[in-house]
Amino acid sequence: MKNKRSLAAGIIILLAAAIAIYALSTGKAAVNTFGKLKMESKDGLLAIGDDVFVSADPEGTVNMTLFVSQGKGTLIDAGFNEKQAKVLQDYIDKNKIELQNIIITHTHEDHIKYLEQFKKEGVEVFGPENTENGQVIVCGADELRILDTPGHASDNHISVEIVKHGVLAAGDVVTTSFVPSMGYGSSTEALINTLETIKGKKYALIIPGHGMPMSGKAAIELNLGYIEKLKKSVVKALQEGTAVQKIDIPLQSVVDDDAIISAKGADAVNKNNIREMYYLLKNANK
């Protein structure tokens, strides 16, 4: 089971990056605006406003987000890919940014590989283990706020609010390049609750763990919308008494996004999600 999950994770990571790069290279992300925030490419990174920088990875991995205030920086997640880490390190060096904090959303390996590289003397490291919900982390003249967002990793998961912009660096509880992976070392119920919480906060923009940043509304619609549609279909199958292995819910019936539907491996994740949802509903009915 663990190997299957690692394989699925690998596939997801590759796809997320491929799609992100495709979007960058086709200029889809040239300039986008979210409320007052502008998002454009800069120095191999995606610049959001003039103080948030998201890495986009050519080899296939997770988003790393750098927030800068008065020359001080906070890095959210420490990546997986060498080139990606280098682009970000170069940006930090070139702009003489003093890294103050590193915040790790969860300890899956694609989020922590370059932690040691970025962790210089005096850099404080935060993660699910040593933070509390609502905790404020100061960066320069600005504040970041921790939001507990369980539902993806067994050792808990946090997201980071960039308070001044109403932006959430969500980590892997939100993905925009793939269907959500349910039961990923945590409970589906927790993931649904987390997505509802995020929805209620009405973020202008969400930076997902994998995939392109999106308006908060669109990102939640994509993730929660999928889960809600899947739930409806599984409820119907349960009512009809269909055996779990016979439940057939095609991706097209639960997702609208063509890129996600055609993403390699999405079908297998969807099948796993059907099982997760089936047992969640079955146990709830006991």
| Window contacting Zn ion (CB under 5 A); options: 30-38, 95-103, 106-114, 188-196 | 106-114
Q: If you search the block for the tokens 């057939």, which residue do you land on?
A: 248
Largest CA distance in the chain: 63
User: Considering beta carbons, is residue 78 or 247 the nearer one to Zn ion?
Assistant: 78
Count other C-beta atoms under 10 Å from residue 211's C-beta.
Answer: 26
**Residues in 231-270 at the binding interface with Zn ion, rule: CB under 5 A:** none
Count other C-beta atoms under 10 Å from residue 215's C-beta.
Answer: 17
Q: Does 209 bind Zn ion (CB under 5 A)?
A: yes
| Window contacting Zn ion (CB under 5 A); options: 59-67, 189-197, 221-229, 265-273 | 59-67
Provide DSSP, 75-105.
EE---S-HHHHHHHHHHHHHTT-EEEEEE-S
Instruction: Return the residue of 172, 186, 257, 273 that touches Zn ion, per CB under 5 A.
Output: 172
Least distance to Zn ion from the beta carbon of 121, Å?
28
User: Considering beta carbons, is residue 174 or 280 the nearer one to Zn ion?
Assistant: 174
How far CA 280 is from CA of 183, 267, 277, in Å, comes to 10, 20, 5
- Is residue 203 within 8 Å of residue 167, measured between CB atoms? yes
| Window contacting Zn ion (CB under 5 A); options: 61-69, 133-141, 153-161, 245-253 | 61-69
User: Considering beta carbons, is residue 43 or 109 the nearer one to Zn ion?
Assistant: 109
User: Considering beta carbons, is residue 73 or 209 the nearer one to Zn ion?
Assistant: 209
Nearest to 264 by CA among 4, 5, 7, 12: 12
Instruction: Return the residue of 110, 142, 161, 257 that touches Zn ion, per CB under 5 A.
Output: 110
Least distance to Zn ion from the beta carbon of 206, Å?
15
- Is residue 178 within 8 Å of residue 12, measured between CB atoms? yes
Helix%, strand%, coil% for the chain, nearest 5: 40, 25, 35
Q: Does 77 bind Zn ion (CB under 5 A)?
A: no
| Window contacting Zn ion (CB under 5 A); options: 93-101, 117-125, 137-145, 209-217 | 209-217
- Is residue 174 within 8 Å of residue 205, measured between CB atoms? no
Instruction: Return the residue of 17, 54, 56, 62 that touches Zn ion, per CB under 5 A.
Output: 62
- Segment holding 278, helix H or strand E: helix 266-284
User: Considering beta carbons, is residue 160 or 237 the nearer one to Zn ion?
Assistant: 160
Binding-residue total with Zn ion (CB under 5 A) = 4
**Residues in 136-165 at the binding interface with Zn ion, rule: CB under 5 A:** none
Least distance to Zn ion from the beta carbon of 80, Å?
8
Q: Does 57 bind Zn ion (CB under 5 A)?
A: no
- Segment holding 52, helix H or strand E: strand 52-55
Residues that bind Zn ion (CB under 5 A): 62, 110, 172, 209
